[in-house]
Structures are given as structure tokens and as C-alpha cells.
Structure 1
Amino acid sequence: MMGRFARKIDESLRWGGKEEEEVFKLLPAMDQFDESFKNQKGGPLQVLKVTRYVKESDTLSEIEEGLFLGSIGAAKNKTALKSLNVTHVLTVASSLPPAHPNDFLYKVINVIDRKDTDMKQYFTECFDFIDEAKRLGSGVLVHCVAGKSRSVTIVVAYLMKKHGMSLLKALEHVKSRRSKAAPNSGFVSQLREFEKSLQDSKNT
């Protein structure tokens, strides 16, 4: 099971969708790891790989005051969320139910990390959710699975809209706070289109 679990994590980070759903069905099994895995071929390495993934993924990256970016690990890190005064959690991924529904206000955008996924259609409602948290003087976490593509796309678009940043400057800023930030090429194309629409609206 351990090998399958680790493989599914790798697949979910690349593709999302059904693989992603299967990974998070398996997450509770992490509490059941025991000495038996040490006796399996490759067991210790697989346990280390999964443990490292979870530990490294639970950090929230502060993009600006009150706006945080992260992974599913960050979304599950209740202690960190509370300590940073996060009250709102924006999930930008498929098949990820709220980790702490009684503690935070959630909005879920059910999308997979594919070039042909239309992210632009969700920009406005995501911006409104982020602004709602900020109006309350609270923090908001925007996350996907790895905190690399989907959630980054939303945060970059938000900076472009709210602060008049170019796509390049917004992405550079996000990468300076979260080095793994890397929207897929389809999302980058949509951000370019969004940048043009913002420029056009200024000129009218």
C-alpha cells in the first residue's frame, strides 16, 4: 500500500483529478504507518518520501498582509492557521473537502490542474472571498494540492487586479515568497489574457 500511496501523491501533483481524489482518500492511512513497512522492499524510503512531502507542505507562504498561499498540508495545519489569524480558506482543487469545517469559513473551487481548465471564470468570486477576509481584518489561505499552480494562478491574478501589477511583477513577487510557484502554461496564457483585459479597461 505504501508504494501505491507515494505514487499517487506524485501523480496527483502532476495531474489532479481522479488521482488527486484517490490520494486524499488514502491520507487517513498515514496514521496507521507501523514497523511492518520497514520489512517491505523500499518501505523505509517510501515512508520517508511521504513524510517529507507532508512536513514540507504544511507551511503557509505570506504573499502580503493577510494573504497566504499554500498546499493541502498548509490547509490541514490548524495550529498555523490559527496563529496567523486565518479565518477564510479558499480551496482551488478537485475533491478536497474542508479539513476543519467547524473552525474556518471555506470556499471551494472544484478544478483540476490542466492546461484547458478555465480558471478565469472563477477570478471574481475568488477575489471577493479574499477581500471579505481582509475587510474583517482576518487572514485568508489560498491553496491547492502543492501550492504550485492552481492556487498561484488565483493569487497572481488577485495581485494584478488589486494592485495594478503586471503579470511579470505579480508572478515574480509570488515566487519571491514561494519559490515553487509555477502555474501551468495554460494558466499563464489565461493570466496574459487577464492582463490585457485589465489594460484595455484602463484605456476605455
Structure 2
Amino acid sequence: MTTIPLLLPSQAVGQPTIYELSKITGSLYISNAVTASNQCILSYYNITTVINASVEVENTFFEDIQYVYVPVSDTPTSYIYDFFDPIADRIHSVEMKQGRTLLHCAAGVSRSPALCLAYLMKYHSMTLLEAHTWTKACRPIIRPNNGFWEQLINYEFKLFSNNTIYMVNSPVGMIPNIYENEVNLMMSM
């Protein structure tokens, strides 16, 4: 087996390297499509299930790994809500069998983090704000698109009858309130 230089999340500075997985829980990782197609990395992290949340990336199938396909485009009009429960359930099921899940999309920025946030709300009883704060600390490049945010906000309300994040009007359109300061700063430059 070839050894590849890996930066572990705790060693990373700034954005993840092309071969880096971001560890979210003891059994859940997020990455981009390039990483998800690297058998050495999947083996190194003992990944047993790969969830591909994209339409443009084909799975690279490896023996002893189960694959789940979530055909969603990264556009604000794409409907991801119907995948929140089944994907969260699948991640939880893999964890209960002592397996590990790699959740990926093309870049590991929008679709896979949106599914991760839903999982953390459902199975770790985190609010959407807590789930986002946690996931962003583990993978700083996450940024679900605004359509996914709206669906996550609806999902949080379904789970908890309360919202910790909401959409607000801004100079660049509707955005999650957690991005208000960033947009205001950008607009003042």
C-alpha cells in the first residue's frame, strides 16, 4: 500500500488539503469527491459507508464499502429536505454497527454539510445553530446554499418547534442571520 502524506484535521491550518477528511463525530466524516475516490484514505479511516450527495460526481466503488447516492444539485432551488431523515437514519445505523460514514459532495462545502447538520440535529439533539457551530469548527469551509438553509430551518422547526437560525433580508438578498455581520463587513469595504 502506498503511503500518502495526510494532514489530520488537528494539524490543518486554514482550508483542508485536497486529501483531508473532516472528522465531525467518532463515526462521521465530510470530504470532497477527490478524497472519497481515494481507496488508501478510505481504508486509513476505516470508512464502511460512503454517501455521495451530488449529481455530477460518480462513485468509485471499492470492495467492502457500501454506497448511498443522494442526487442533489448545489442550487438554491434544489430540494434536499426529503433526504434529511433517511440520510440521518443511515448515518446513525452505520454508527450503531460500529462503522464509519464518509459524507461527500463535489467540494464538501454545501450539500454534504447540509445533510450533516440535519443528522446532528436529529441524532445529537443539537439546535441548528449548535450543529452549524460544531461542523464549522470541524470543517471551516462549510457554507450551505441559501435554499438549503431555508430547508434546514424548516427541519429544525419540525424537530424542535423552535428556530435558532432564521433568514433575513440583506443587501445581497435573503441570507441566514449568522452571515449578517459578514455581509455588513463586506458591504462597508
User: Could you state the TM-score of these two structures normalised by the residue count of structure 2?
Assistant: 0.74
| Whole-angstrom distance in 2 between the partners of 1:91 and 1:57 | 17
Residue among 38, 50, 56 paired with 1:77: 38
Cα deviations by residue, 1:108-156 (Å, 9 ceiling, x for unpaired): 0111001011111111211122122112211100000000000000001
Mapped pair 1:66 → 2:27: yes
Output the CA distance in 2 between the equivalents of 1:95 and 1:129: 22
What CA distance in whole angstroms lies between the structure 2 residues aligned with 1:123 and 1:114?
Answer: 17
Equivalent of residue 81 in structure 2, options 120, 123, 126: 120
Say if 2:50 and 2:66, in contact at 8 Å, map to a contact too: yes
- Show structure 1 runs of 4+ deviating over 3 A: none
**1:1-204 maps to which residues of 2 (within 5 A)?**
56-200=17-161
**Higher helix fraction (1 or 2):** 1
**Partners of 1:98 and 1:110 in 2: CA distance:** 12
Aligned partner of residue 48 in structure 2, secondary structure: strand
- Counterparts of 2:55 and 2:31, CA distance in 1: 15
Unpaired runs of 5+ residues, structure 2, are 1-15, 163-189
Question: Bigger radius of gyration, 1 or 2?
Answer: 1
Total equivalences in the alignment: 147
Unaligned runs of 5+ in 1: 1-54
TM-superposition CA deviations, 1:150-182 (whole Å, max 9, x none): 000000110011111111110010000000010
* Identical-residue share of aligned pairs (%): 31
Equivalent residues of 1:57, 1:72 under 8 A apart? no
